[in-house]
Amino acid sequence: MTELETQLLETQKQVQEALATVTNESELEECRAKFLGRKGLLPALMSQLGKVPKEEKPAVGKTLNAVKNSVQEAFDACAAKIKESKEEQEALDISLPARHHAIGHKHPISLVMDRAVAIFRSMGFIVADGPDLENVWNNFDALNAPQDHPSRTPEDTFYFDLDKRHWLDPETMILRTQTSPVQIRSMKAQQPPVRIVCPGRCYRRDTPDATHGMSFHQIEGLYVDENVSLADLKGTLAVFSREMFGPNTKIRFRPHFFPFTEPSVECDASCIVCGGTGCRVCKGSGWIEIAGAGMVNPAVFKNVGYDTEKVSGFAFGLGIERIAMIRYSINDLRLLYDNDVRFLHQF
Ligand code: PHE
């Protein structure tokens, strides 16, 4: 290799190194002047081609052309890079005020549901889950509902496939009318002790009015172990009521009937609006019904294969809409589902 070729390749290397550090147009121009300008390094080397001996000329000329092209390409690439980053910077105007995003907030039903779940979790309950689309066995039969129970008729419950199946067929699918089938699912999936709560949506063919909807929410509770008593149920619901409605809240049980509990009760909490003296919210009684509950009927234990001699348990079902209406003084349940942001904004 001739001295000139070595110098050419060395210069090419220098160009690449110099361009690698260039970040803006003026640095690029400086570089261009140094290597390509009238008094630049490359033109100086090129002018020496004339002095190269004739027989070496073709080879040196070829190297010279290759170096020239590669240097030109390197400058073009560097110029393109600078242009691109300049455009990027201009597109990003950091002086613009930020766009405001309304992130929204939780629906009052979700707020009450989350609070209820948190209270029961603090007492050692674990959250269980079941599908909205349930079969008749889990929703009725396993829960000891007699075949002629009025809630089983297609007038009261949403059935699927009634053209193919009878509504008393245990495999017919329905929209669950209560969260109680999750009791069955949980007990079939594990041996006692069981201590679960299940928050979820339920469906009934009710005509919507101020206190009824076709769909509503419950939170189901189930505790099965050795020696569980009605006093445990009362203690659990008393703690829940004090946490949910305030430390002075009292509860009372009234006898009731559910096929899957025996004895069965309805649980009232003292009215949080008047404190028990009687007002419009509690219709003058001083009490507000918050749950259905009772001791698990041995017939239900038999249906899931539990030993009725060994275990006992309690179950309860709380109405979430009811609790939300009391907590937030809402007098019409339909307000919760109209999705009017002016209403929902308040919680
Ligand atoms: N499932 C009952 C209802 O929807 C409530 C309930 C749950 C009652 C658990 C007793 C035990 O009315």
pTM exceeds cut of 0.75: no
In a mutational test of the pocket of ligand 1, which residue from 144, 218, 323 has the highest number of ligand atoms less than 8 Å from its CB?
A: 218
pLDDT tens digit sequence for 245-287: 999 999 999 999 999 999 999 999 998 888 889 888 788 999 9
Q: What are phi and psi of 271, to 5 degrees?
A: -60, 125
In a mutational test of the pocket of ligand 1, which residue from 174, 178, 220, 262 has the highest number of ligand atoms less than 8 Å from its CB?
A: 178
Distance of CA 223 to the CA centre of its chain: 27
DSSP 3-state assignment of 167? coil
Distance in Å, CA 202 to ligand 1 centroid:
12
Strand partners, 264: 256, 294
In 3D, which of 259, 339, 343 has the Cα closest to residue 298?
259
In 3D, which of 171, 162, 161 has the Cα closest to residue 136?
171
pLDDT tens digit sequence for 48-79: 888 888 888 888 889 888 888 999 998 898 98
Q: Is 344 exposed, middle or buried (0-12, 13-18, 19+ CB in 10 A)?
A: middle
In 3D, which of 177, 206, 209 has the Cα closest to residue 292?
177
Alpha helix locations (H) across 275-319?
298-304
Closest approach atom of ligand 1 to CA 264:
10
d(CA 67, CA 81): 21
Determine which residue's CA is closest to atom 12 belonging to ligand 1: 292
- Specify the pLDDT at position 159: 97
- Specify the pLDDT at position 243: 96
Q: Which helix (H) or strand (E) holds 111?
A: helix 108-122
Which CATH number is 108-344 given? 3.30.930.10
Closest approach atom of ligand 1 to CA 314:
11
- Strand order of the β-sheet with 126-127 is 126-127, 194-203, 215-225, 312-319, 287-296, 261-270, 251-258
Q: Is 294 in the pocket of ligand 1 (CB under 6 A)?
A: yes
Q: What is the DSSP letter of 332?
A: -
CA-CA distances (angstroms) from residue 15 to 35, 48, 118, 239? 7, 19, 68, 80
Q: Is 293 in the pocket of ligand 1 (CB under 6 A)?
A: yes
Q: Is 265 in the pocket of ligand 1 (CB under 6 A)?
A: no
Distance in Å, CA 178 to ligand 1 centroid:
7
The b-or-e profile of 158-170 (16+ CB within 10 A means b, else e) is: bbeeeeeeeeebe
Q: Is 316 in the pocket of ligand 1 (CB under 6 A)?
A: yes
In a mutational test of the pocket of ligand 1, which residue from 182, 186, 260, 318 has the highest number of ligand atoms less than 8 Å from its CB?
A: 260
- Specify the pLDDT at position 233: 98
Contact 184, 142 (CB under 8 A): yes
Distance in Å, CA 161 to ligand 1 centroid:
26
Band (pLDDT 50/70/90 cuts) for residue 99 is confident
Q: Is 258 in the pocket of ligand 1 (CB under 6 A)?
A: yes
Band (pLDDT 50/70/90 cuts) for residue 210 is confident
Q: Is 140 in the pocket of ligand 1 (CB under 6 A)?
A: no
DSSP 3-state assignment of 199? strand
pLDDT tens digit sequence for 103-119: 888 999 999 999 999 99
